[in-house]
A = this chain, B = another copy of it.
C-alpha cells in the first residue's frame, strides 16, 4: 500500500549545513504550511539523526535518505530499516546518485522496505537504469542525471527526453511504478513541465535548501502542480 499521494514534491535535504536540527524542522514546517495552503502533496527526506525530531513537529511524510540492506544484528554504524521506521520515517530513498548500491543490494533494500512497510523511491541515472529499477517493482523510480544535480538548469529543460523516455521505459516494464524526476528543479515551471513529461512529481534538494526565501520557492514549486 502506497502512502505517498501524487503528484508530489519530495525534498531531499542531503547533508546540507542549512538543514540540520532546528533548521530542517523549520523547512519541514514551511513545506507543511504550503502543502496545506495549496493542497499539494509534499514529503521531506532528512538525515537519520533528524527523523525523530522532524516527524514530531510536522504532519507531512518524513522519509529517510537511505537504508542499508541489513536485518537487526551486528552492523555497527549502518542504517537499519527498522531503526529508521521506529524513528518515524514512512519511506526511504534507495540508491541515490550520491549513495549508489549494488543491484543485489537495491533489490535487498526494496525487499526490506516492503517487509517493514516503508514507501520507497529507487533513484536512477538514465533511461536504462530506470527501466532496470522498474523491473524490481518499487513504488517510485526517480531519474536524475548526475551531471545536472545541484545545477541551475532543470532536467526538464536540459534533457526532457530522459524524463519522457524513462516514463515510457518504466511503464513498458511495470505499469504500476510511478516516475519522479529531479536535478536542477527550481520553480513551478520545472514542476509543471515534469508532469507534462509524464512524471508523478519531482525530487529536489538545493532548489529549496539553498533558497533565501524558502516559503516563496516552495509556493512557486507548488504552483506547478495546482
A residues near B, CB below 8 A? 12, 14-17, 20-21, 47-53, 64-66, 70, 72-80, 82-84, 86-87, 93, 95-107, 124-126, 128-129, 131-137, 149-150, 169, 173, 205-206
Contacts and interface: CB of A to CB of B under 8 A. Distances in A.
Residue from A14, A77, A87, A101 with most neighbouring chain B CB atoms (10 Å)? A77
A186 to B, nearest CB: 15
Contact of A100 (B84, B105, B205): B105
A98 B84 contact: no
Nearest to A88: B49
Contacts of A133: 103, 132
A82 to B, nearest CB: 6
B99 A103 contact: no
A15 B135 contact: no
A205 B74 contact: yes
Copies in the complex: 4
A72 B72 CA distance: 29
Contact of A83 (B20, B102, B106, B169): B20
Contacts of A173: 131, 135, 173
Contacts of A106: 103
A98 B66 CA distance: 18
A136 B65 CA distance: 26
A60 B112 CA distance: 33
Contacts of A47: 48, 80, 83
Given A20-B86, A74-B149, A100-B105, 20 more contacts: A15-B70, A15-B80, A17-B72, A20-B82, A47-B48, A49-B51, A49-B87, A50-B87, A65-B77, A66-B78, A74-B205, A77-B79, A78-B98, A101-B102, A103-B132, A107-B132, A128-B136, A129-B136, A134-B135, A173-B173
Nearest to A13: B76
Contacts of A87: 21, 49-50
A76 B96 contact: yes
A100 B132 CA distance: 16
B136 A15 contact: no
A64 B150 CA distance: 29
